[in-house]
């Protein structure tokens, strides 16, 4: 990987042992030639592995013995360049401790310079336009280095040797604070911005991968104002906190969570809130977790050093559009949202949101894989031809396979608006260009209406449409370097089935080549199709209509016009049939009166999980497995009937939710047992967006492990639709090898 300080590290190591020779980049990695006393060569090799720079990654070392030659010393040689040079661009990296120290040191020439960086930290992926990763091909090209920076850049012993974005106040980018009208304000931009934030104003901050909207997270009115202006009613905001001491004041932090927060990737980590911590309620209403991150750029560090403790930091955009990254665009699109703009003149070439993670069952798991992780490859077990996968629709990513590398893009967003589509096209083209791969196949979802499918249809490359949940299964296996076959439990929102129904509660047995649909949740009617996704009360009516002989009268039906919806159900007009597990959560949440309408994906399901208070009950509702035409159905109607009966008997919603979770865990365990006895398989793969339900996920993993299963789960890529492009791509390779069977 370029730009992570590997060559200078090797240089220092070799010189330290008095070894002679060279290091140079080659088409497939680096070539090191060293000569010296054998015991020192051994030491050198050992430390090559143990002391390597934190951002470097060694896939393999091949060594051979050569005859001695006359050599002067150790040199960093020129790169062996040529067609097909395989180099990886590193992700954007959080401010390192050395740079942080210099930033706050009045004697340092970069004291309070917001663009300080070195080989171990700073912008990378977001500023690179093309390979090789050299300054002229980055958005730093408009800033020629001053003699002092130039000297550092060329000194192999300097921390800034070949640090492409190297800059200082003399030669590098600079900061400016603008008011809402776009007038540049005089004075210290950082100090003024801090003053604005402390007054409760909304400041648009230009960061690494785009603009953030920042506001004081302790100021209820300010946070509410941000919600109103951004058109974001209830979806939780992430908070950036000054340091770990502050994080500990508001949240429970485990060792694994601490490691994630302070890592070079510096993602948002969803932490458990401490009870009674005085954060504005509007930050994350009705959620026991809070998205937290630490300052990761020098600018953030200066803002917090200037006297802020907690800032809501949310991607600057309107509703679900992609993040804003360009200065003019920001002034235009954030008009009426931001009270001030803290921006700089280093262009962002590629926008990239913050990554979102959660630490569950002993591992850090991606929910949104973006800044800090992209474009680091996911290492596949096998090599093969180049394949490009277009992803799904929600939380879209694209994946390019090249050799053993799966190069997954950053989070692109929901492909429902023109801005997102443009961003998608740019990223898909950029990945191929950056990594110099020409795909032999483009893979897309089976859903004909997805914008990504329509984009794929326009490519002049052979195409393959892949079933959504098969892609989920394949993604889970691929990131775990598992061949399968495995028992795949895919619990999801929506995915286009092969039989005209909407799938989403599936037990698939198979691998990347193909899978058998062993079982699924009972089909339920969704009146109005997609309208039922944003209005779970419609789904609730459908589930009740199908499950109950007489439609019960429940509080959620009051003040809603249910007659037209019932008419659709009676006449079977405009009805989608679904086995979705996400919709089952929505329907039960609405039946319980928790959420009839939602303002963001998963809102009703989250409310239902929150109601359980972190506990899965010991009692369960009735459920049953039913076998028909060689396939199992997990009956949903008895569960719905029991939920209604419980409500009518006045059972507390928390009890109902705990029982509901217990029921699902039991059903899934039973069907997995059946699949296991039918096939002899003991490996279970869990995928799909419903596994973001931490309660369901952790309970199921634990109970399956206790029952002797090997459980394979997502960690490197999201279990939600952000992960399916990986699965699609891997399936695409099977297709090119002639072993693709699809889903039966």
Residue 99's binding partner among Zn ion, Fe ion, none (Cβ under 5 to 8 angstroms by kind) is Zn ion
Which member of 4, 128, 131, 168 binds Zn ion (CB under 5 A)? Answer: 168
Is 170 among the residues that bind Zn ion (CB under 5 A)?
yes
The stretch among 8-16, 78-86, 146-154, 395-403 that binds Zn ion (CB under 5 A) is 146-154
Closer Cβ to Zn ion, 54 or 613, answer by number: 54
Q: 10 Å Cβ neighbour count for 432? A: 18
Query: Out of Fe ion, Zn ion, none, which partner does residue 96 contact, by CB within 5 to 8 A per kind?
Result: Zn ion
In a 13 Å sphere around the CA of 1, the CA atoms on its Cβ side amount to 24
Closest separation in Å from C-beta 546 to Fe ion: 23
Q: Can you give 351-394 as a three-state secondary structure string?
A: CCCCCEEEEECCEEEEEECCCCCCCCCEECCCCCCCEEECCCCC
Q: Nearest distance from residue 298's CB to Zn ion, in Å?
A: 9
- In the complex, minimum distance from the CB of residue 313 to Zn ion, in angstroms, rounded to a whole number: 21
Residue 342 binds which entry of Zn ion, Fe ion, none, with Cβ cut-offs from 5 to 8 Å by kind?
A: none
Q: Give the separation between CA 451 and CA 444, rounded to whole angstroms.
A: 10
Task: State the burial class of residue 211 (Cβ atoms within 10 Å of its Cβ: 0-12, 13-18, 19+).
Answer: buried
Stretch that binds Fe ion, among 56-64, 240-248, 343-351, 490-498 (CB under 5 A): 490-498
Compute φ and ψ for 485, nearest 5 degrees.
-70, 155
Query: How near is the Cβ of 168 to Zn ion at its closest, in Å?
Result: 3
Hey, which residues does 444 pair with through a beta bridge? 465
CA angle 662, 672, 548 (to 5 degrees): 50
Q: Whole-number minimum distance, CB 260 to Zn ion, in Å? A: 20
Closer to Fe ion by CB, 469 or 595: give it. 469
213 binds Zn ion (CB under 5 A): no
* Two tokens, residue 717: 């890529």
DSSP summary character for residue 137:
G
β-sheet with 29-35: strand ranges across: 29-35, 20-26, 74-76
Residue 149 is a binding residue for Zn ion (CB under 5 A): yes
Q: What is the DSSP letter of 483?
A: -
Distances in Å between the alpha carbon of 61 and those of 26, 48, 179, 723? 14, 10, 55, 30
The reply to whether 96 sits near Zn ion by the rule CB under 5 A is yes
For Zn ion, the binding residue among 34, 99, 376, 695 (CB under 5 A) is: 99
Q: Which does 721 bind (CB under 5 to 8 A by kind): Zn ion, Fe ion, none?
A: Fe ion
8-state DSSP, 613:
T
Residue 204, classed as helix, strand or coil, is: strand
Residue 168 site contact among Fe ion, Zn ion, none (CB < 5 to 8 Å, cut-off depends on kind) = Zn ion
> Which of 429, 427, 387 is closest to 404 using CA atoms?
387
146 binds, among Zn ion, Fe ion, none (CB under 5 to 8 A by kind): Zn ion
- 398-427 in b/e burial notation, b at 16+ Cβ within 10 A? bbbbbbebbbbbbbbbbbbbebbbebbeeb
From 32, 34, 94, 121, residue interacting with Zn ion (rule: CB under 5 A): 121
DSSP state of 118: B
Interacting partner of 121 out of Fe ion, Zn ion, none (Cβ under 5 to 8 A depending on kind): Zn ion
Gap between the Cα atoms of 214 and 240, Å rounded: 9
The nearer residue to Fe ion, 313 or 394, going by C-beta atoms, is 394
* 339 contributes a contact to Fe ion by CB under 5 A: no
**Shortest distance (Å) from residue 159 CB to Zn ion:** 7
What are the E-state strand segments in 27-122? Answer: 29-35, 74-76
Selected range binding Zn ion among 167-175, 326-334, 369-377, 488-496, rule: CB under 5 A: 167-175
Q: Select the binding partner of residue 707 from Zn ion, Fe ion, none (C-beta < 5 to 8 A, by kind).
A: none
Residue 465 host element (H or E): strand 463-466
The window from 9-17, 115-123, 183-191, 543-551 that contacts Zn ion (CB under 5 A) reads 115-123
Give the range of 43-51, 53-61, 484-492, 585-593 binding Fe ion by CB under 5 A: 484-492
Q: Report whether 381 contacts 483 (CB < 8 A).
A: yes
Q: Is 652 a residue that touches Zn ion (CB under 5 A)? A: no
61 binding partner (options Zn ion, Fe ion, none; Cβ < 5 to 8 Å by kind): none
Rounded to a whole number of angstroms, the minimum distance from the CB of residue 727 to Fe ion is 10
Choose the one of Zn ion, Fe ion, none that binds residue 118, judging by a C-beta under 5 to 8 angstroms depending on kind: Zn ion
Tokens of 561: 């016009």
Q: How many residues bind Zn ion (CB under 5 A)?
A: 10
Is residue 146 within the footprint of Zn ion (CB under 5 A)?
A: yes
Tokens representing residue 394 in the block: 């929600």
**CB of 269 or CB of 367, closer to Fe ion:** 367
| 492 is an interface residue for Fe ion by CB under 5 A | yes
Closest separation between CB of residue 728 and Fe ion, Å?
11
Q: Does 721 bind Fe ion (CB under 5 A)?
A: yes
Query: How far is 489 from 609, CA to CA, in rounded Å?
Result: 19
30, 76, 104, 171: which one binds Zn ion (CB under 5 A): 171
Q: Which residues contact 334 (CB under 8 A, 6 or more apart)?
A: 204, 211, 213, 316, 324, 341
Question: Applying CB under 5 A, which of residues 10, 19, 88, 118 lies at the interface with Zn ion?
Answer: 118
Using the minimum distance from each CB to Fe ion, give the nearer residue, 657 or 719. 719
Q: How far apart are CA 713 and CA 672, in angstroms?
A: 15
Of 223-231, 370-378, 654-662, 713-721, the window that binds Fe ion (rule: CB under 5 A) is 713-721
- When CB distances to Fe ion are compared, the closest residue is 492
Considering beta carbons, is residue 160 or 595 the nearer one to Zn ion? 160
Nearer to Fe ion, 603 or 721 (CB): 721
Q: How far is CA 729 from the centre of its chain?
A: 17
The answer to whether residue 479 forms part of the interface with Fe ion (CB under 5 A) is no
Number of residues that bind Fe ion (CB under 5 A): 2
- Is residue 76 exposed (0-12), middle (13-18) or buried (19+ Cβ within 10 Å)? middle
What residue ranges bind Zn ion (CB under 5 A)?
96, 99, 118, 120-121, 146, 149, 168, 170-171
What residue ranges bind Fe ion (CB under 5 A)?
492, 721
């Amino acid at each position: 990987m370029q730009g992570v300080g590997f060559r200078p590290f090797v240089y220092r190591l070799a010189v330290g042992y008095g070894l002679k020779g060279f290091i140079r980049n080659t088409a497939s990695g680096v070539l090191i030639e060293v000569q010296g006393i054998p015991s020192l060569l051994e030491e050198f090799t050992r430390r090559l592995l143990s002391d390597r720079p934190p951002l470097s990654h060694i896939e393999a070392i091949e060594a051979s013995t050569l005859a001695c030659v006359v050599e002067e010393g150790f040199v960093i040689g020129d790169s062996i360049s040529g067609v097909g040079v395989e180099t990886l661009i590193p992700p954007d990296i959080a401010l390192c401790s050395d740079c942080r120290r210099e930033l706050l040191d009045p004697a340092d020439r970069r004291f309070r310079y917001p663009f300080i960086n070195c080989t171990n930290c700073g912008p990378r992926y977001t500023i690179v336009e093309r390979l090789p990763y050299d300054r002229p091909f980055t958005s730093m090209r408009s800033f020629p280095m001053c003699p002092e920076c130039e000297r550092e850049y060329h000194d192999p012993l300097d921390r800034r040797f070949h640090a492409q974005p190297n800059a200082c106040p003399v030669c590098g980018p600079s900061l400016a604070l603008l008011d809402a009208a776009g007038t540049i304000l005089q004075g210290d931009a950082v100090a003024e911005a801090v003053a604005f934030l402390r007054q409760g104003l909304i400041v648009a901050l230009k960061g690494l991968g785009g603009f953030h909207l920042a506001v004081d997270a302790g100021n209820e009115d300010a946070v509410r104002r941000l919600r109103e202006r951004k058109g974001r009613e209830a979806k939780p905001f992430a908070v950036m906190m000054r340091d770990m001491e502050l994080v500990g004041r508001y949240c429970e932090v485990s060792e694994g969570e601490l490691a994630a927060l302070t890592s070079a990737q510096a993602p948002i980590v969803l932490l458990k809130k401490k009870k009674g911590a005085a954060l504005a309620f509007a930050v994350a209403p009705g959620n026991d977790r809070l998205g937290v991150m630490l300052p990761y750029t020098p600018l953030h560090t200066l803002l917090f050093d200037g006297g802020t403790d907690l800032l809501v930091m949310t991607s600057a955009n309107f509703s679900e559009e992609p993040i804003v990254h360009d200065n003019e665009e920001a002034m235009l699109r954030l008009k009426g949202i931001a009270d001030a703009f803290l921006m700089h003149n280093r262009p962002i070439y590629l926008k990239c949101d913050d990554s979102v993670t959660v630490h569950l069952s002993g591992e850090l798991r991606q929910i949104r894989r973006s800044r800090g992780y992209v474009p680091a490859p996911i290492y596949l077990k096998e090599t093969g031809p180049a394949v490009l996968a277009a992803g799904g629709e929600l939380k879209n990513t694209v994946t390019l396979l090249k050799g053993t590398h799966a190069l997954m893009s950053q989070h692109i967003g929901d492909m429902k608006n023109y801005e997102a589509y443009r961003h998608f096209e740019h990223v898909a083209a950029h990945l191929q260009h950056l990594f110099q791969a020409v795909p032999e196949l483009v893979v897309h979802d089976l859903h004909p209406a997805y914008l990504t499918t329509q984009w794929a249809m326009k490519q002049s490359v052979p195409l393959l449409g892949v079933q959504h949940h098969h892609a989920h299964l394949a993604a889970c296996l691929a990131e775990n370097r598992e061949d399968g076959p495995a028992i795949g439990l895919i619990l999801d929102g929506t995915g286009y089935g092969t039989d005209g129904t909407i799938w989403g509660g599936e037990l698939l047995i198979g691998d990347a080549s193909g899978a058998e649909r062993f079982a699924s949740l009972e089909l339920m009617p969704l009146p109005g199709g997609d309208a039922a996704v944003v209005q779970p009360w419609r789904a609730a009516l459908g589930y009740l209509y199908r499950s109950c002989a007489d439609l019960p009268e429940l509080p959620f039906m009051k003040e809603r016009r249910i007659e037209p919806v019932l008419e659709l159900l009676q006449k079977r007009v405009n009805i989608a049939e679904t086995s979705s597990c996400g919709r089952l959560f929505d329907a039960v949440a609405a039946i319980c009166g928790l959420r009839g309408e939602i303002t963001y994906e998963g809102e009703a399901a989250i409310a239902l999980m929150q109601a359980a208070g972190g506990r899965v009950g010991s009692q369960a509702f009735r459920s049953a497995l039913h076998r028909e035409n060689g396939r199992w159905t997990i009956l949903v109607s008895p569960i719905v009937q029991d939920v209604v009966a419980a409500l009518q008997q006045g059972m507390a919603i928390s009890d109902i939710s705990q029982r509901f979770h217990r029921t699902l865990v039991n059903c899934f365990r039973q069907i997995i047992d059946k699949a296991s006895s039918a096939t002899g398989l003991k490996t279970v793969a869990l995928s799909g967006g419903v596994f973001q339900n931490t309660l369901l996920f952790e309970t199921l993993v634990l109970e399956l492990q206790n029952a002797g299963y090997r459980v394979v789960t997502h960690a490197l890529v999201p279990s939600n639709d952000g992960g399916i492009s990986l699965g699609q791509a891997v399936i695409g390779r099977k297709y090119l090898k002639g072993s693709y069977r699809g889903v039966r």
